[in-house]
């Protein structure tokens, strides 16, 4: 449960505690290894721009076009103060504060997805126009569905957290981490 609540240090500690209580039980050993591998993969992909070559990465950044890729959020950007629509302001990942970011919509391009033994959550990395990268966890997604590299992703009212996982003397710092609870996401498939 802790890993789904994204309390990764506590989850890793709980697996270690279960292993200490019953060293012959394989499930917590496998779960702990899988979770740490997943977090390590996220950190690696963030640090290495999704393993994309520099030119491909820059092409994705250059292809971010708010005027055409914000989907239904575009009309909310142009809503006047007297409009009945909720007014949204376009932001960048560096503008996000920890917690809820009401009234903001961010736009990015998918640069990679993170393979996980569990299908929940679907984890992927996106880059914004300023070349900042964040990780997104998407819940309640049908198996086999998701985004692919090059898709545009717009997120209104994002909930932002910074994740630090410490365990067995190893520290993973996932500096920008976005999760969906009440956020609304729109993505557009655009192939290159």
Please check whether residue 108 lies inside any domain of the structure: yes
| Mean per-residue pLDDT of the chain | 84
Please check whether residue 172 lies inside any domain of the structure: yes
Please check whether residue 148 lies inside any domain of the structure: yes
Overall number of domains in the chain: 1
Reported for 28-34, long-range contacts at CB under 8 A and 24+ positions apart, including other chains, are 34/116, 34/117, 34/118
Please check whether residue 166 lies inside any domain of the structure: yes
Please check whether residue 83 lies inside any domain of the structure: yes
Q: How many residues does the chain have?
A: 192
Q: Is the pLDDT of residue 181 over 50?
A: no
Bridge partners for 155 per DSSP: 106, 185
CA distance 93 to 108: 9
CA distance 85 to 76: 6
Please check whether residue 125 lies inside any domain of the structure: yes
128: domain CATH number is 2.40.50.550
Please check whether residue 45 lies inside any domain of the structure: yes
Please check whether residue 2 lies inside any domain of the structure: no
Range of the domain at 70: 8-188
Q: What is the pLDDT of residues 53-102, one digit of tens each?
A: 999 999 999 999 998 888 888 877 765 555 555 778 999 999 999 888 88
Q: Is the pLDDT of residue 113 over 90?
A: yes
pLDDT of residue 26: 96
């Amino acid at each position: 449960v802790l890993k789904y609540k994204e309390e990764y240090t506590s989850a890793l500690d709980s697996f270690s505690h279960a292993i200490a209580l019953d060293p012959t039980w394989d499930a917590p050993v496998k779960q702990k290894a899988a979770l740490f591998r997943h977090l390590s993969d996220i950190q690696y992909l963030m640090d290495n721009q999704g393993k994309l070559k520099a030119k491909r990465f820059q092409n994705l950044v250059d292809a971010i076009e708010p005027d055409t890729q914000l989907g239904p959020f575009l009309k909310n950007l142009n809503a006047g103060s007297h409009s009945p629509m909720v007014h949204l302001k376009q932001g960048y990942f560096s503008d996000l504060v920890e917690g809820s970011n009401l009234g903001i919509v961010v736009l990015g391009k998918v640069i990679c997805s993170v393979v996980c033994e569990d299908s929940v959550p679907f984890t992927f990395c996106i880059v914004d126009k300023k070349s900042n990268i964040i990780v997104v966890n998407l819940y309640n997604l049908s198996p086999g569905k998701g985004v692919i590299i090059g898709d545009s992703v717009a997120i209104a009212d994002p909930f932002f957290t910074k994740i630090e996982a410490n365990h067995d003397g190893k520290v993973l710092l996932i500096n920008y981490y976005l999760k969906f609870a009440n956020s609304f996401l729109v993505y557009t498939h655009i192939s290159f």
